[in-house]
Amino acid sequence: MIPVCRLEDLPEGESVRVETTPPVAVFRTDDGELYAIDDTCTHQDASLSEGWLEGCLVECPLHAASFDLRTGQPTCLPARRPVRTHRVTVDDGIIHVHLVAQEGSAA
């Protein structure tokens, strides 16, 4: 479990990049829902935390690939591979990300 920031410090409709290996992006939608995905677009090396958030979708700032924050699945080209999703919890007002182990690595 990795602490990210205070819930009050992440406004609705915004995101924050967490410097893990690999980096993770945490999003707070306009509805106040929290999601975490790997921060790097699977099409090309671009930070999804710098993309555009609309509902539960984030658009990559480089080539407009879009990903569903709930599933990690790409919703349009040029991305074809999903990004990993991670569980998010809030404890005592602090957002935490629970990282999912990468394939082929120990958790």
| C-alpha distance from residue 49 to each of 65, 91, 100 (Å) | 13, 23, 18
| Interatomic CA distance for residues 84 and 106, integer angstroms | 16
| Interatomic CA distance for residues 79 and 23, integer angstroms | 18
CB 90 within 8 A of CB 101: no
Q: Is 31 left (phi over 0), alpha (psi -120 to 50) or beta?
A: alpha
Judged against a pLDDT cut of 50, whether residue 107 lies above it is answered with no
**What is the pTM assigned to this prediction?**
0.92
Q: pLDDT tier at 101 (50, 70, 90 boundaries)?
A: confident
Average pLDDT value for residue range 6-33:
97
Residue entry with tokens 């990210």: 4
Question: What percent of the chain has pLDDT above 70?
Answer: 95
Q: What is the pLDDT of residues 24-49, one digit of tens each?
A: 999 999 999 999 999 999 999 999 99
